[in-house]
Amino acid sequence: MEPYELTLAEAADKIKAKELSPVELTASVLARIEAVEDKITAFATVTADLATKAAKQAEEEIAAGAYRGPLHGIPVGIKDLYDTAGVATTSSSKVRADYVPTQDSAVVERLDAAGAVMVGKTHTHEFAYGAVTPTTRNPWDLDRVPGGSSGGSGAAVAAGECSVGMGSDTGGSIRIPASVCGTVGLKPTYGRVSRRGVASLSWSLDHVGPLTRTVRDAALVMDAIAGYDRADPASVDVPVPDFAASLDAGVAGLTIGVPVNYYTERVDPEVAAAVSTAIDVLVEQGAQVREVEIPLPEYILPTEWGIMLPEASAYHQEMLRDKADLYTDEVRLYLEVGELVLATDYIKALRVRTLIQQRWRDLFESIDVLIAPTLTTPALRADQPEVTWPDGSTESATDTYVRFSAPANVTGLPSLSVPCGFNASGLPIGMQILGRPFAETTLLAAGQAYESATGWAKLAPLP
């Protein structure tokens, strides 16, 4: 096994035991990038020289007895929305082609303090406004999309081009690429992880979090990045648990809510079957199932778009006036439409979101977690990014992918996507586990219980 094939946890154990050096691991990852990047194009920028220098520093620190923890010497890819001092942060857009920040984003600061090694900036759908990431391809099938908007991070982690990919999630942008690329993706509770220094899509819906190969890896990253930051107005000052410590708690006695509506409508039969089988695995380990009805389902997507469209347009207003010709047609159209949303409609959407949040709070009084498909379908073809349903209706990739992921953004609840199988074409399928506010440890324990009982995390695309 080559070093780049190791999970974060496996690599960390070897680095700590001095069986593997950060320099060896980083060199292996950079060689992997060189070998497959021309097929995948996951990176906007590869920072090979900086990574080699950081890996050498980590090696020297560890040799001197100054081991910082599990992320010390671990290669990470940073979504190109995150500010990185001295390294271009383009948001995968010509609008910011020349933008080089002078200060790191909060998460990058925390990763640097933990000793992580940045190997590059990963592609996003332009300004995170979409679910396809057209610059990038899916490592499981190069003719298909990697999801978005954190498609570069999802593809890079799946292909072994980094051990961790940082993403952001406004309508599903961590969980969508995690699902279609066969990785783990965690959208924490709104306010759990600081968004300072990350280009915004929608202030009141944005979240940041990790994409990793395993649930344990996600917990280890959360241990490094979670915490209060007064510079982020949405940040919540709540205790930060040891996310990795309770991973093996199991699911005995856990009550799983299984939706009888919303997540059951216009969904690929293979996806539905895979998630149902995954729930059975957890039941075999002692979990209980309770059928539940998703409240106010007809308002979820109108609320998501009713908030996101005007907030995104407000963020981009000045840039759109000055550089409209530099945006892609798709994103410029979204931004122009957002300009037409009335202030009264935006305020109504905010009020409806409060009602949805209250009803979901009631829903979780009788369950510990809600389990549903992460997405309606596996990865769609890049040359035909839409799905046609048996009733004749069609949905674009963005519309169909956001449909199942948006509830966690509208409510702000934590949601974990874990691989739960493959369809007949060999494409990954994801299951999402949603929980109560700041109950990431419960989600991670459930995900770990499922992952440990199955072999999906051991499979990888591309030779």
State pLDDT tens for residues 140-169.
999 999 999 999 999 999 999 999 999 999
Q: Average pLDDT of the chain?
A: 97
Distance in angstroms (rounded) separating the CA atoms of residues 82 and 85: 10
Rounded CA-CA distance 240/223 in Å is: 8
Q: For the residues 174-183, what does the mean pLDDT come to?
A: 98
28 is catalytic: no
pLDDT at 415: 98
Nearest to 306 by CA among 345, 280, 332, 354: 345
Read off the pLDDT of residues 352-411 as tens digits, 9 standing for 90 and up. 999 999 999 999 999 999 999 999 999 999 998 899 999 999 999 999 999 999 999 999
Burial of 318 (0-12, 13-18, 19+ CB in 10 A): exposed
Q: Does 459 have pLDDT greater than 90?
A: no
Per-residue model confidence (pLDDT) at position 385: 86
Q: Which of 92, 149, 179, 200 is catalytic?
A: 149
Q: d(Cα 15, Cα 10) in Å, to the nearest integer? A: 9
- Respond yes or no: is residue 79 known to be catalytic: yes
Reply yes or no on whether 53 is catalytic: no
Q: What distance, in Å, lies between the first and last C-alpha atoms of the chain?
A: 12
Candidate from 13-27, 48-62, 413-427, 448-462 with smallest mean pLDDT: 448-462
The Cα 409–Cα 434 span in angstroms is 11
Task: Grade residue 98 by pLDDT with cuts at 50, 70 and 90.
Answer: very high
Does residue 44 sit in helix, strand or coil? strand
Q: Is the dihedral of CA 361, 341, 79, 456 positive or negative?
A: positive
Q: Considering 21, 79, 163, 194, which one is annotated as catalytic?
A: 79
Work out the percent of the chain whose per-residue pLDDT is above 70: 100
Residue 460: per-residue pLDDT: 86
For residue 97, what pLDDT band results from cuts at 50, 70 and 90? Answer: very high
